[in-house]
Structure 1
Amino acid sequence: MAKHVFLTGSPGVGKTTLIQKATQALKSSGIPIDGFYTEEVRVDGRRTGFDVVTLSGGRGTLSKVGSDSTTARREYRVGQYVVDLVSFEQLVLPVLRNVNLDSGTGKKVCVIDEIGKMELFSQSFIRAVRQTLAGSGTVILGTIPIPKGKPLGFVEEIRSRKDVKVFSVTKENRDSLLEDIVTTVQNCRK
């Protein structure tokens, strides 16, 4: 039986929107929920990066378009974006630690949008997600990218877990999946 729920699909198909709608539905039914999602940052209609936004209202930089200047510190890059690992970890790691603490109110839900190339530069993040997956007190509602090019080891590890239910989101099915996702998360809490 599934203990965790992940959405996968092409970039821009609506995974984050679906996660946000599911989060609202779960919250309104009284389920304890925390976590984060990623949000595009746009300037004059152009995407300039991504922020991490926690469900408790915190916000920080995940990545931004990098310059070609050489810097002394090591840069983590995905395409044109430079990943701000310090900002990401300062915001996300406390959320993951707190969600793993026993609340005594039944299983919490932890939103992790997303587990992708940028986030996987953080070994601390990978360890925290593994710990949450292995624990019994938290249900993860997360997103992972579709397999493309060189597989991302940790993403494939999640995808192949027997206790993970993966929903493939498409433009055709995204509007009809919400109820199934919410019901599956609620069943994971039992």
Structure 2
Amino acid sequence: WVPWSERLRPGDMGPGDLLPTEAEDLRLEPGWSGEDEPPPNSVVSDELAELADAEDAELTDRPVAATSRGSIAAVAEELGTRRARVLSRYGLYEAADRWDEAFGPKTPMAQAAPATCVSCAFLIPMAGSLKQAFGVCANEFGPADGHVVSLAYGCGGHSEAAVMPKPVRPADHALDTMRVDAYALRPERGEGSVPAEPDGASEDLGHS
């Protein structure tokens, strides 16, 4: 008998399925779990804020406008880091190895590519510590569209691999349309090999 956690494979999860994580999952580590109020020795604590306002009031005669100092929780909420658990360094390395195996420099597609993704215009940079090695492909005709790719990956859809040349401009017309050439509709008399008026010899021979 094999536990379900060991039988599960990528792509097995469907709509409505729940995948619980273990409490000691090596891929995760505790995130920021402080209270809304900063500690007493924090630069944004109420005590230091009141002390700073009092010193400012002593140094100037003008009334000082009250400044609102955000708490650590508010800053963490804005930065998106206020989570119970975050990805650990082991989880980052594991994800990087998985992405590098699927869309990395050792794949047959990358080996035959004319250039790497680091110079491709379809690459969307990532944020965080993995931005120096990975990005997201945005080429709808590429094999990795919408996937995380290594900067050393590449494919035939590179933006600078085969730039289509501009259409050749046709040459100007050589005909002179500013001058009119006169052409006779009927030949003039006396021109051609047959005379206009038959002579006597031709009548004797039966020519008309």
- Give the TM-score taking structure 2 as reference length: 0.24
Higher percent of residues as strand = 1
Higher percent of residues as helix = 1
- Give the TM-score taking structure 1 as reference length: 0.25
Q: Which protein shows a greater Rg?
A: 2
